[in-house]
A and B are shown apart, each in its own frame.
Chain A
Amino acid sequence: MSAPSSFSRARQHWLWRVLAESGQAKAGLVVLGIFVLLALVAPWIEPYDIHQQVGPVYASPSLHHPLGLDDGGIDMVSLLIQGGRISLIVGFAASLVAMVVGGGIGIVSGYYGGWLDTVLMRITDYFLVIPDLPLAIVVAAVWGPSLTHLILVIALLLWTTTARVIRAQTKSVRERAFVHRVRSLGASDLRIIARHVLPQIAPLLIANTVLTIAVAIFDETALAFLGLGAPNSVTWGTIIEFAFLRTAISSGAWWAVIPAGLCVALVIMGCFWLGQAIEDALNPRLKVSYLSPRSFRVIRLRNQDTQSTPDTQSTPDTQSTREVEQP
């Protein structure tokens, strides 16, 4: 029942269909689009150089500086634009890494099964039971700070959920009649995966990736706040961190804190709307659902009318933490 049959018939159009049908998806796309556009043209629209001090420390908002200055006397608007650029790069890159790694492991694990599946899933289990943030703190401290390391640390937290979801979906696709048919015709595993499995799971993978961008940006602000962000670059996370380190709150400099957090929330909501709309379209019949703890993913509880075969049991109905216990 989890087969997105409508998509397999016209999969080149599935994304368009989601966008056309869902207002939520449109809203998400518009919000994300605006921020991506801002990031792309940042160097041309920045009102001031973020490496130059343009006024006194924590100067309040004025005509020239609508959001005031930060603790280094740097224009907040320029900082937000530049910070968004790096935050988005971190978010997108980390999700991409998570998609490739998680998706790859999920496909291999689900397609081949057997001991390989067991080993790979035990590894994902370890990452699932270790609380995210403490693990990230340790790993970030081990690797030392750089933008690349930051992206990898965040990806390390993200890939497990993707792997779980994709594994389950791959397993169910593998058992479908047409895959059996192709295999009996002598197609190689690689070919089956590339031609038949991948297209089937692509929508799910994309929905997943959009949602992980939200988590990645969220994690970046958390790590930055704990002093483990990327040095030498401004992100929304480091803007909040600096405000905290330099007592912006008690100095009354709300402008050094509030806008950055609002930007983060807007981008995360954009991802959430878009990702959710795709997932809803994939699996509209599932009813009771909930947001999983801090992973921005709506989890469906087991449906009463689900057929209880091993394969449908581990369809995307249950993800994330629930998956820990899946044999």
Chain B
Amino acid sequence: MPRLRFVLRRLAFAIATVFVAITLNFFLFRVLPGDAVRNLARVPHASPGLQHALAREFGLDKPMWEQYLIYLRELAHGNLGVSFTTRQPVSGDLRQALLNTLPMVSLGTIFAILIGTVTGVVSAWRRGTVLDRVSTNLAIAFYSFPTQWLALVLLIYLSNWLPSHGMTNDFLVDPSFWQHELDVLRHMLLPSLTLGLTLYGEYTLIVRSAMLETLGEDYILTARAKGLRQRQVILRHALRNAMLPTITLIALSLGYIVAGAILIETVFSWPGIGSAVYEAVTKRDYPMLQGAFLVLTVSVVFFNFVADLLYARLDPRITE
């Protein structure tokens, strides 16, 4: 059963990577300069003992290795710990942040796929023409714009029409279900449009080259000679050929996009995982950081694993 052995080997490898990441992350955050409790203790009416009280409460007075073992033990029980700043369980805060980020990122990816497919098809179809060159280079240009910059530019020109901050209009009084969903969607448009624009270049190039592979020059000529209907058949065939790499790309990039959302979330005040990580770094909120990095690492490893399996299915030689 080479297939099963392959899957198991990859699985073992993925788990090992996650474990290494957990360990390194734990120590990485603890070498940050500054003190997790000092900021929290610097409040106007605090007693001088507050710092020590907090350190004791968070277990930071114990030796590092002991803290590490406690962390592992708790993690084994599915416990991500309690956030230093909000004193609430990290798992809850993280889940909320992820639930906020995922729809925005998904809509952005859908935008990217749509724009990418259309421009990719056009480019491949008009291969070598000015249109192809303009469309391909425009795709690369959007891919090259700094994310935060593109977000700011969209803010300049679109913020008069679209909400530019947060997830919902919280002042809606008793919104119906649909009102609420539409409100969220409207708020999601600018951030996900930014994401879609910065990413669509990936899909343009992949669709274009996948199409070109299928459409030999002769094909195009023949198709043109035979008229539109034939052309559509080929388009369909060619696009199907582009599906596999596109799907793989989605699987591969999702983990990175979620983490990369920091910049977009900062500009649009989106309370997602990116903002949570950034906030946690500045506040030295170790449990939150560990939790967030764990989730991000696991998702990257997981999607890679999925991509691997996808390949294995499509190209059986890999498992040999």
Contacts and interface: CB of A to CB of B under 8 A. Distances in A.
Interface in A184-215: 214
A131 B296 contact: yes
23 contacts: A125-B17, A129-B21, A129-B297, A130-B25, A130-B297, A138-B29, A141-B33, A225-B263, A226-B262, A237-B146, A243-B152, A249-B159, A261-B153, A269-B144, A272-B140, A289-B206, A291-B143, A293-B257, A294-B260, A301-B248, A302-B311, A322-B304, A322-B307
Given A129-B300, A134-B262, A138-B29, 6 more contacts: A134-B259, A138-B281, A222-B146, A292-B202, A296-B144, A321-B252
Interface string A126-140: 100111111001100
Interface string A272-315: 10000000000000011111111010100110000010000100
A214 B144 contact: yes
B68 interface: no
A138 B258 CA distance: 17
A288 B287 CA distance: 43
Nearest to B260: A133
A176 to B, nearest CB: 23
Nearest to A307: B317
Interface of A: 122, 125-126, 129-134, 137-138, 141-142, 144, 214, 218, 221-222, 225-226, 237, 240, 243-244, 249, 254, 257-258, 260-261, 264-266, 268-269, 272, 287-294, 296, 298, 301-302, 308, 313, 321-322, 324-325, 327
A257 B21 CA distance: 38
A258 B146 CA distance: 11
Contacts of A322: 252, 304, 307
Given A137-B281, A288-B210, A291-B202, A222 B263 contact: yes
Contacts of B317: 308
The 8 closest A-B pairs by CB, nearest first: A131-B259, A261-B149, A290-B206, A293-B253, A268-B144, A291-B202, A265-B144, A221-B146
Interface of B: 9-10, 13-14, 17, 20-21, 24-25, 28-29, 31-33, 137, 140-141, 143-150, 152-153, 155-156, 159, 199, 201-203, 205-206, 209-210, 212-213, 244-245, 248-249, 252-253, 255-260, 262-263, 266-267, 277-278, 281-282, 289, 292-293, 296-297, 300-301, 304-305, 307-308, 311, 315, 317-318, 320
Contacts of A130: 21, 25, 293, 296-297, 300
Contacts of B152: 240, 243-244, 249, 257, 261
A261 B150 contact: yes
Given A134-B296, A254-B156, A324-B304, A142 B148 contact: no
A249 B156 contact: yes
Contacts of B305: 325
A240 B151 CA distance: 11
Contact of B149 (A221, A269, A293, A324): A221
